[in-house]
Amino acid sequence: MAKTTQQPLVGIAMGSESDRPVMEEAGRVLAEFGIPYEIVVRSAHRTPEATAKWARTARARGLRVLIAGAGGAAHLAGALAAHSKLPVLGVPLASSPLGGFDALLATVQMPPGVPVGTLGVGSWGARNAAHLAVRMLAVQDERLARALESAPGQVSARPTRRGRVQRNA
Ligand code: RP5
């Protein structure tokens, strides 16, 4: 388990070591905002009991948001939401021959009452899960809210003459 030295606020779980390169992109975004996080491998089908325990103890360990990335049979985010009332953000990964569309459907289509906030497939989703976690934490953290306001925007609100959204970066 990788950890920063401070008490982690965000927990990132991924179904396999093979998911790490993509899910570390979420960690990099959190680090940019100075948010301590932990990143672990937990699988809903390979290590179901360890996964349940990680989710059940998350709040007591100081975590405030959970991010789950999984590809094949992508029920990890849903499994975390079954065991924790913390907000769970799901990142479908393109590990299977179906290119991640299967993971997207498995992650997004949760029945009412067991919510998973589902992001896009792969790297974009991992990065946006972290950005969303930052915004969630900023609701009650003035320092973070100010950091968000002064962070360079990825997308300008100003449309171009052709009606497209103009990118700043
Ligand atoms: C899922 O199956 C994991 O989240 C991963 O995306 C996929 C393949 O896992 P490995 O066979 O590479 O361990 O459980």
CB distance 31 to 107 below 8 Å: no
Ligand 1 proximity of 51 Cβ (cutoff 6 Å): no
Number of the ligand 1 atom closest to the C-alpha atom of 14: 4
Ligand 1 proximity of 16 Cβ (cutoff 6 Å): yes
Rounded to an integer, the average pLDDT of 6-20 is 97
Summarised one tens digit per residue, pLDDT across range 70-128 is 999 999 999 999 999 999 999 999 999 999 999 999 999 999 999 999 999 999 999 99
Full-model pTM = 0.89
Q: Is the dihedral of CA 53, 21, 27, 3 positive or negative?
A: positive
CB distance 28 to 56 below 8 Å: no
